[in-house]
Amino acid sequence: MRFPVIPPINEDKRKEAADRQNLLTKPTGSMGRLEDLSIDIAGMTGIVAPELKKRSVFLMAADHGITREGVSPYPAEVTPQMVMNFLNHGAAVNVLTRQSHSDVVIVDIGVNYKFPDLPGLLSRKVAMGTENMLEGPAMSHEQAEKALQTGMDVLNEAADRGLELAATGEMGIGNTTSAAAITAVLCGRAPVEVTGRGTGLDDAGLVRKIAIIEEILKERKPDPDDPMDILCKIGGFEIAGMAGVTIAAASRKIPLVMDGLISTAAAALAAAFVPEVRNYLIAGHRSPENGHRFLLEKLGKYPLLQLDMRVGEGTGAALAFNLVDAANNILREMATFDSAGISNR
């Protein structure tokens, strides 16, 4: 599969942003990581302190065949029910995107349910959910490419309409199992190290989930050096779609804010396909899911927030949009020592 070329970071604009930070009426470095964030965004966009008014969370929804093995306390029927909740503006991500003045782009990329034509729902279904990866590969090579391309297409359509800031979110019962398996392979960790409780498994359920992931990896043997092999054998359609969104955002010089474990697993796959993608990633938050910190370490990203959020949907990324605004607003609006008539000696 051919992926787009990722442009290099604009080092001149990074330097311009860094130089301006040192002129503002504050001790050097005193705004901490907000300063670093504003400098990174200048390099990504080629603009010092852009307003980034047009922003969206790309929420990919799909089902997983592995749910038949009891890896989640919730039934697969919750996936389409939650999609309806998103469309009715009743979910956590709807609240937080309203607060951050952003849109939610809701994509049915593989829900095991036939939705009618609904306003606000993009129907880009690859299949009615993945196969049970305990019994065989989650998807075919053709399906994986279609899901990746779908994510790239959705992002590019939005970019053509002026998108300036993006985030990825997801909905899919069973997808923490897929994400944990992907994390184990990409990070070289044992399933017990990277597997969490997902939507609230009890102790016995967690033990069972870990054992199932161990068996999946033993049977499927995904190649850690081949992201397409990983995706086909243990991935999800929404994970592939988010990876496509991530790659296309980088190709359009659009900063991409990652959400939690599943969003970051998708970004790590995207970076495995196209390493330069890393330059356009922002870690919105760190979730309490065990594998998330290993993925962030692999990508070399430090989270903006750590609030023990694990609902998914893009909620942590939407919340982090406010910090992106804060970083850019400080750089744009704060007085310099010269303009304020303050001595900096």
Task: Give me the residue spans of the domains in the chain.
Answer: 11-49+330-340, 55-325
Q: Is the pLDDT of residue 132 over 80?
A: yes
Q: What is the mean pLDDT of residues 233-247?
A: 98
**Any catalytic annotation for residue 313?**
yes
- Which residue is catalytic, options 35, 142, 313, 333? 313
Angle at which helix 141-160 crosses helix 227-234, to 10 degrees, equals 110
- Token duo for residue 323: 């910090």
pLDDT bracket for residue 125 (50, 70, 90): very high
Domain 11-49+330-340: which topology?
A: 1.10.1610
Which phi and psi angles does 143 have, rounded to 5°? -65, -40
For residue 112, name the pLDDT band (cuts at 50, 70, 90).
very high
Second-level CATH architecture of 55-325:
3-Layer(aba) Sandwich (3.40)
pLDDT digits (tens, 9 = 90+) for 254-308: 999 999 999 999 999 999 999 999 999 999 999 999 999 999 999 999 999 999 9
Residue-wise pLDDT tens digits, 3-55: 999 999 999 999 999 999 999 999 999 999 999 999 999 999 999 999 999 99
Given pLDDT bands bounded at 50, 70 and 90, which one contains residue 345? low
What's the confidence (pLDDT) of residue 183?
Answer: 98
Cβ distance 179 to 267 under 8 Å?
A: no
| pLDDT for the residue 205 | 92
Model confidence at 222, pLDDT cuts 50, 70, 90, reads very high
CA 59 to CA 241: how far, in whole Å?
9
Q: What is the mean pLDDT of the chain?
A: 97
Q: What was the pLDDT predicted at 43?
A: 98
Asked if pLDDT for residue 340 goes beyond 90, the answer is no
The percent of residues in the chain predicted with pLDDT above 70, rounded, is: 100
